[in-house]
Chain A
Amino acid sequence: MSRLILENQDVNITIIDRDGVTHKIEAPTDMAMNLMEVIRSYELAPEGTIGVCGGMAMCASCQCYVLSDTELPKMQDDEEAMLSEAFYVKENSRLGCQIPITPELEGLEVELAPES
């Protein structure tokens, strides 16, 4: 029974890394993690190339392109400001550190933006 509850807390996310490799991963919703941290926990980008500022929306090293039509939390001012200074920005760019892992993210598909 408890096992079932634990399984229910994970969401399935698809991440395309910077080499174009697709990873289907499960992310916990009860550890206050964000998308950048999940990517780091699975080591899908080399340390030091993602989450450089620690997750304060101050470096854009966790920029990703959202490929699915998953509903995401609205962009706050600091994320918008950082993206306005980042490179390789597209219409569907978001900062992974500003996307908390919640049950609503089930099925999310993202691609990591190039390192800059």
Chain B
Amino acid sequence: MITTDILIIGAGPTGLFTVFEAGLLKLKCHLIDALPQPGGQCSEIYPKKPIYDIPAYPEILAGDLTDKLMEQCKQFEPGFTLGERAETIEKQEDGSFIVTTNKGTKHKAPVVAIAGGLGSFEPRKPLIDNIADYEDKGVEYMIKEPEMYRGKKVVIAGGGDSALDWSIFLADVASEVTLIHRRNEFRGHLDSVEKLQELKSASKINLITPAEVIGLEGEQELESVVIKQETKVFKKECDHFIPLFGLSPKLGPIADWGLEIEKNAIVVNNALDYQTNIPGIFAIGDVNTYPGKLKLILCGFHEATLMCQAAYQIINPGKRYVLKYTTVSGVDGFDGTRKEAPKAVVKAIE
């Protein structure tokens, strides 16, 4: 069981900044995120896009913002459970919560801060009637263990970076790789597109375009896919079909936690501290809603800061505290580091 002061669900910008603000109050944080890396949308959807409305950064790439936030909160030693989705929450008799992920990892904390953005990223599944019948029986929407494809016949569908990158990677692992895309053009890094061209010329990847997979067949497990290429329809034998059509955010299991939901977001009391209808559970950043709500990273930072003050009161009831300024007090990391302004020199001039 992982225990912490504030359990943060979502490791996007708001969640990461919460670690820093909580750290100033000597509260420890642990983050859960369905994605395998921190940064949320910033790292998953648009790492190379510039953001222009982060105070004091006239321009910063979303990926760089993530790196900076990680650097800023590092001294407060946040824990991470990545690649797992927060699934259930149980309130304990002592008022704390136990949050369990889809992989069974348990976390206990007196305060839960949901900073889940638009929700957890789930793979977009193609519209093939019987696809659900073959899930984990030959159909995978994400590649977790590349070794399981060794010596197998693999069909990948999609035209973006992940379809390209995995086709290239699996060309050396699988016995046969077929890449199917609805267009002749691929959208990806120039070097991946060139590499694909090279592998195709060397007959290491079969490229079928413009085409799409319209059916799946097999007794117990997947045995072949049905491909439509312009007017032709034909079957291709395979052991695995991996559709890679990107991810889309879904509020997911959080929607069943008994929280008040409106417009796909969690209703909070914005006048005070962004607490939800369940005391001890807060919602900050894009995942919440209240009158006048704006889904902006900078608003998430503000909400995180106010929420930490309320968390402090829950964790340390009655204990006095007054807001301090980092310029005056410096920053004491949990890792033993200390940052502070250099002392002014007091010396008489002779």
Residues in A lying within 8 Å of B, measured CB to CB: 46-49, 52-54, 56, 58-59, 61, 77-78, 80-81, 84-85, 87-88, 116
Contact = CB atoms under 8 A, between A and B. Distances in A.
6 nearest A-B pairs in the assembled complex, by CB-CB distance: A48-B264, A81-B187, A47-B263, A84-B183, A84-B182, A87-B127
B102 interface: no
Interface of B: 41, 45-46, 49, 118-119, 124, 126-127, 158-160, 181-183, 185, 187, 245-246, 248-249, 251, 263-265, 289
B245 A59 contact: no
B118 A81 contact: no
Best-surrounded residue of A77, A81, A84, A116 (most CB of chain B within 10 A)? A84
A47 B126 CA distance: 23
Nearest to A53: B45
Contacts of B126: 87
Contacts of B49: 56
Contacts of B249: 48, 52
B265 A78 contact: no
Contacts, number: 59
Contact of B124 (A49, A54, A78, A87): A87
A68 to B, nearest CB: 26
Contact of A48 (B158, B182, B263): B263
A85 B248 contact: no
B127 A85 contact: no
12 contacts: A49-B264, A52-B248, A53-B45, A54-B46, A56-B46, A77-B185, A78-B187, A81-B183, A81-B185, A85-B158, A87-B127, A116-B248
Given A52-B249, A84-B182, A87-B126, A47 B265 contact: yes
Given A47-B263, A48-B264, A87-B127, A61 B45 contact: no
Contacts of A56: 45-46, 49
Contacts of B289: 47
Contacts of B251: 48
Contacts of A87: 124, 126-127, 245
B248 A59 contact: yes
B118 A85 contact: no
A85 B182 contact: yes
A95 to B, nearest CB: 14
A52 B127 contact: no
B159 A81 contact: yes
